[in-house]
Structure 1
Amino acid sequence: MRKTIDTRFADSRAADLSLAYGLRPLPALGTHSVTLGGLTVELRVLGASHQVVLGDWSETVACLPDRPGALPAREEQVVGDYVVRFEARCEHPADFSAAVSRVIASCEADPHALVAEFPGSPLAVTALAAGASGDGVAWETWHAYPQAGELVYTKSVVSPR
């Protein structure tokens, strides 16, 4: 699913992003719910960030005012009833435009994905794609920051404990 967001892209950068689990659903600019293996996953775009809601649990990757930026490269945690594996990396593709275009094309073709484009820059994109993973669910996200040429990739796998 592709959605153009009415809110202009806010300049930010990869280093401002932080990870939080269990936040209440934050106001979303775009949402897409998918059901995978009996589990409903809500993909949510929050400005230049994202939130994924699974039942009463959530993962938020965002520029949060009460948290310092810095995503972990890799971590595994037990959070409530789930085992969560998270990874993140920031890339500076030589051809930023082509890299973002590939993300858009891949997610646009996926019924379990959401691509949000922000006005002001055709390369200002947040994309999320969900899929089944064993007895749990997984999702990948991409945050494109054209002003810095940064493409942030995250992957999460959530399984029952």
Structure 2
Amino acid sequence: MLVRLDTPYADTTAGDLSFALGLPELPALHVLRLPGLELRLLGASHQVIWTTVDGERCVETVACLPGRDPRLPPAVDSPGYAFSSTVEPLPGVPPWRELAADPRALVGVFPGDPNAVTALRAQESGWCTWHAYPQTGELVTTRTRLGER
């Protein structure tokens, strides 16, 4: 699903992003609800909320978070959860272009540049996200894998 957003994004480079597990839900610009999973676009990037097999709600946040040092780890591993992130040059053909028609994807385009995008896509055992910063030529990609759900 493609969403054109009316608000400027709060994070302006890959270096502004922080990672957190367990934060409360932040105000979302748009939410895609899927069984056991919510993909959430924020003005400061993304949140994903999922429900474990035990019924526990878990929250992953990758965003510009006031009061937190901007630090996006390359990897986080714990039982049943694995997160990885990369920062690369923004490619000429963005990887989220084909996601607009995917019912398990949410693509938010921020004003000012058609490549100012945060995209999320649910997968069988987790999700992937893309955060594009055309002003700095950076693309942040994250991948999250869940164990038993």
Q: Is the structural similarity TM-score above 0.5?
A: yes
Q: For residues 45 and 75 of structure 2, what CA distance do their matches in structure 1 show?
A: 19
C-alpha offsets along residues 98-148 of structure 1, whole Å, 9 cap, x if unaligned? 332x31x22113210000001111110000000112xxxx10000001110
Letter in 2 for 1:99: V
C-alpha offsets along residues 9-57 of structure 1, whole Å, 9 cap, x if unaligned? 345111111110111110001110112xxxx210001114100011321
Change (3 A) 1:27 1:92: same
Structure 1, unaligned runs of 5 or more = none
Coordinate RMSD, CA, aligned: 1.6
TM-score by length of 2: 0.89
TM-score by length of 1: 0.83
Q: Structure 1: which 4+ aligned runs deviate by more than 4 Å?
A: none
Alignment partner of 1:111 is 2:103: yes
Q: Show the 5 A alignment for 1:44-63.
A: 44-55=40-51, 56-63=57-64
Partner of 2:34: 34
Q: Secondary structure of 1:160's match? A: coil
Does the Cα contact within 8 Å between 1:9 and 1:120 map onto a contact in 2? no
Q: Show the 5 A alignment for 1:1-161.
A: 1-10=1-10, 12-35=12-35, 40-55=36-51, 56-78=57-79, 83-93=80-90, 96=91, 98-100=92-94, 102-103=95-96, 105-133=97-125, 138-160=126-148
Aligned length: 144
Structure 2, unaligned runs of 5 or more = 52-56
Identify the structure with the greater helix proportion: 1
